[in-house]
Amino acid sequence: MINEKIILKLTNPASFERGYKYYQKGRVTAYKNENNIISATVIGTDNYESLIDLSNLKAECDCPAYSNNLLCKHLVALLFTYMSGEIKSKSLPKIKGKIKQPEGDNDKDLSQILYKFSKEEIVYHLKRIDADYGIIADYFDRLLLSEKSIDYSMMRKAIRSKVNYFSKHGYINNYFRKMMEAQYDILSLTDSLPNSKASSEFLLETAYWINEKLDVIDDSDGIFSTLVELLIERAAVFLNSASVTDMELFYSYMGKESFSDFNLEVLEIILLKVSNKEILDELEFRLDMTIHRKDPGFAFTREDGLTVYSEYLLKNKPEKFEEYLSDLLEVSFSIKLNYIRFLFNNKRYEEVIELAKPHIPNFHLDMQYEKSLMVLDKTELLIEYYTIDNTKIFSLEKFKKLYQLCKIKRPDLLEKVRTDALNNHNVSINTRIDLLLNLDMIDEVAQLISKLNKTGFELSRDFLENTVAKLCIVKQDAAIAVARVLVNQELKAIYQSNYYERLIEYIEFLILLEDKDYVETIYNTIKVHYKTKKKLLERLNLQPNTNEIINEQELLQLGE
């Protein structure tokens, strides 16, 4: 059971709107629906592989915007394709508060489309696009700046003024927005710089200066830290056409002490972004010296330098990685992590298990360790792995895997696994609800939600609404049970409030699920016990003390 409102509950308004546009424009390709799993290639800024398992609504997408909590626009487009049963639709669903889409055929020549709009309309829509993608203002900035001669002194003064503003003010209204604007302004100023040694020197000097300012600036959102990285990246572009002697400029910054790991950042970015073989060979030579404890003049420690170097070798020269670093695993835990990754990539699973086991659980090692156990079919170690951390921090995903593994391999442990999970005091309310749903304990879910106090219910409201939306697709009996509890909670709340939108929204869930008897019961309750709530009765097209019957069509119109 799925409609537009269910999809909207599973995502955010922006992804909903863009996802529908993708669907409408036929960007969902190679669509498949097999064994209750839908998948497709969705064409966006790149081709993204999107998949949804309709049996549990587990979703996957390889786009940068995907998160486990909300569907991205590509998954939204995939759901619309599944809902309609066809690749392309004809009309945009009406969602309250959406901006009207401009008319026009995007396949026509751009000049023909723009001719239909006034200058004001074009400016308005350009601003909307720029707010989403940040490309238009950047383009025109570069266009203007490219016509001017470079004035490093002016740039330095402008940049330092923008950064100093944040170091001199303890509290600033709209701090995050102003930090973002400052970052954008600084990047726009430096974007027109040519690929030259002078420009690289200016960029490194600027990045280093801003980095030191972080000592007195609240950069908890990482806006200026990101700016420092981007400035170093722009400086490093020069090395692709530079000679070995030009590396001395970058070595000078790798040798500088700094408030944070600026020197290490320069090394990482060169190894990551530069493709000039002569430069990289020279840098490798100096990094090799750290292995033999010869000081190459870097400010970072031998351990940190080897860690970054090991990551580079792992990706680019795995044969050299093992030759140089297999006997240096104890120098740094990060090097050991990289070595375990190397072993895993080379399918040396026994060695992965041996080296990783003492450190499990570990976020960086869990995937390699778990998959190695699976490949070698080590059931007891898998059970231990899934169990070991759940007593401290409960993981629903680990519980699901453990439960499934025990069903197949150790059914004698099933009851213990189930009981331990239900009695775990470290399980949050939202996770406990998910856990009970996975165990098909629907009545217990309803009881748990019913017992939530006002504060607990408010904290869990978004999660519960999202849960009902998912259940409408995968488990309708559970969706009805949870939706009924939500309706009853809202009935309690409206004794003290005149806000009825949520109540009507939850009733719409029940209508969608065809829970007609309960809907009729709720409406009779409202007519009898809520006569004083005149605005609510008006929304229900009722007058106090009347016996008018509400039909299903009228109920469906309540949310309009």
How far apart are the C-alpha atoms of 396 and 467, rounded to whole Å?
A: 15
Split at pLDDT 50, 70, 90, the class of 354 is very high
Mean pLDDT, residues 25-45: 87
pLDDT value of residue 393: 79
Q: Are 126 and 136 in contact (CB under 8 A)?
A: yes
Determine the angle formed by the axes of helices 247-254 and 262-273, rounding to 10 degrees: 140
pTM: 0.56
Which residue has better confidence, 560 or 178? 178
Residue 500 structure tokens: 């009825």
Within 10 angstroms of residue 305's Cβ, the number of other Cβ atoms is 23
Which among 221, 144, 217, 230 is positioned nearest to 186, based on CA atoms? 230
pLDDT tens digits for range 491-528: 887 777 777 888 888 888 888 888 888 888 888 888 77
Kindly state the DSSP code that residue 63 receives in the 8-state scheme. S
Mean pLDDT, residues 526-535: 74
pLDDT value of residue 540: 65
Report whether pLDDT(439) > 50.
yes
Report whether pLDDT(339) > 80.
yes
pLDDT above 70 covers a percentage of the chain that reads 85
pLDDT value of residue 228: 95
Strand ordering across the sheet containing 58-61? 28-34, 37-43, 47-53, 58-61
Report whether pLDDT(133) > 90.
no
pLDDT value of residue 541: 59
pLDDT tens digits for range 190-249: 887 888 899 999 999 999 999 999 988 988 889 999 999 999 999 999 999 899 999 999
pLDDT tens digits for range 265-280: 999 999 999 999 999 9
Split at pLDDT 50, 70, 90, the class of 101 is very low
Report whether pLDDT(340) > 60.
yes
Residue 210 structure tokens: 């801003």
HEC letters along 203-247? HHHHHHHHHHHCCCCCCCCCHHHHHHHHHHHHHHHHHHHCCHHHH
Lowest pLDDT segment from 39-48, 350-359, 476-485: 39-48
Three-state secondary structure call for residue 55: coil
pLDDT tens digits for range 59-78: 888 876 666 567 888 999 99
pLDDT value of residue 63: 79
pLDDT value of residue 71: 85
pLDDT value of residue 327: 76
* Domain chopping of the chain, boundaries: 4-84, 113-148, 152-375, 385-427, 444-556
Q: Are 438 and 57 in contact (CB under 8 A)?
A: no
Pairing between β-strand 28-34 and β-strand 47-53 as defined by DSSP bridges: unpaired
pLDDT tens digits for range 162-174: 999 887 766 678 8
Which residue has better confidence, 4 or 134? 4
Q: Are 558 and 507 in contact (CB under 8 A)?
A: yes
pLDDT tens digits for range 413-422: 999 999 999 9
Residue 369 structure tokens: 């360790």
Residue 463 structure tokens: 């999660």
Split at pLDDT 50, 70, 90, the class of 406 is very high
Report whether pLDDT(135) > 90.
no
pLDDT value of residue 211: 94
Q: What is the mean pLDDT of the chain?
A: 82
User: Cis (ω within 30 of 0) for the bond into 361?
Assistant: yes
Which residue has better confidence, 385 or 294? 385
pLDDT value of residue 262: 94
All residues at 6 or more sequence positions from 332 whose CB lies less than 8 Å from its CB, including other chains:
303, 304, 306, 307
Lowest pLDDT segment from 209-223, 348-362, 412-426, 537-551: 537-551
